[in-house]
Amino acid sequence: MSSPAVRVRSQAAFETRTLLGNGEQLLVSLILPAMALIGLAVSSTPDLGPGRRIDIVVPSVLALAVVSTAFTGQAIATGFDRRYGVLRLLGVTPLGRSGLLAGKALAVLVVVVLQTILLSVLGALFGWQPNLGGILVGALLMLLGTWTWVAIALLLAGVLRAEAVLAVANLLWVIFAAAGGLLYPTAKLPGMVGDVVRLLPSGALGDGLRDALTGHEGSLLLPILVLLLWGLAATALTATFFRWDDK
Partner 1 sequence: MSWAAPEAAITCVLGPNGAGKTTVMEMAEGLRRPDSGVVRVLGTDPWRADADHRRRVGVMLQDGGLPGSVKPLRLLEHIAALYGTPGELPSLVDQLGIDDFRHTSLRRLSGGQRQRVALAAALVGRPEVVFLDEPSAGLDPHARLDVWDLVRSTRDRGCCVVVTTHSFDEAQRLADRVIIVASGAVVADGTVAEVGGATGLEDSYFALTRAPKASR
Q: Which stretch binds partner 1 (CB under 8 A): 47-55, 87-95, 122-130, 185-193?
A: 87-95
Residue 86 found at the interface with partner 1 (CB under 8 A): yes
Single-letter amino acid, residue 226: V
Measured from the CB atom, is 23 or 191 closer to partner 1? 23
> Whose Cβ is closer to partner 1: residue 21's or residue 191's?
21
Distance of alpha carbon 121 from alpha carbon 138, whole angstroms:
16
Shortest CB 160 distance to partner 1, Å:
18
**Binding residue (CB under 8 A) for partner 1 from 89, 174, 225, 236:** 89
Q: Find the binder of partner 1 among 30, 95, 150, 204 (CB under 8 A).
A: 95
- Whole-number minimum distance, CB 85 to partner 1, in Å? 4
Residues 43 to 82 in contact with partner 1, rule: CB under 8 A: 80-81
* Three-class DSSP category at 176: helix
User: How many residues sit in the footprint of partner 1 (CB under 8 A)?
Assistant: 29
| Residue nearer to partner 1 on the CB measure, 105 or 162 | 162
Work out whether 93 is an interface residue with partner 1 (CB under 8 A): yes
Enclosing H/E stretch for 21: none
Which residues, at least 6 apart from 4, have a Cβ–Cβ distance to it below 8 Å?
Answer: 99
* Residue 21 lies near partner 1 (rule: CB under 8 A): yes
Which of these ranges, 57-65, 86-94, 138-146, 195-203, lies near partner 1 under the rule CB under 8 A? Answer: 86-94
**Whole-angstrom distance, CA of residue 145 vs CA of residue 141:** 6
Q: What is the per-residue binding string for partner 1 in 218-247, x denoting contact by CB under 8 A? A: --------------------------xx--
| 96 is a contact residue toward partner 1 (CB under 8 A) | yes
153-172 core/surface letters (b: 16 or more CB in 10 A; e: else): bbbbbbbbebeebbebbeeb
Long-range contacts of 196-202 (CB under 8 A, 24+ apart): 198/222, 198/226, 199/226, 200/176, 200/226, 200/230, 201/145, 201/148, 201/149, 201/152, 201/226, 201/227, 201/230, 201/231, 202/63, 202/67, 202/176
- Number of neighbours of residue 176 by Cβ within 10 angstroms: 26
Nearer to partner 1 (CB atom), residue 162 or residue 209:
162
**Looking at residue 134, what DSSP letter applies?**
G
Question: Which of the 8 DSSP states describes residue 49?
Answer: -
Site of interaction with partner 1 (CB under 8 A) = 1-2, 4, 7, 10-11, 14, 17-18, 21-22, 80-81, 84-96, 99, 244-245
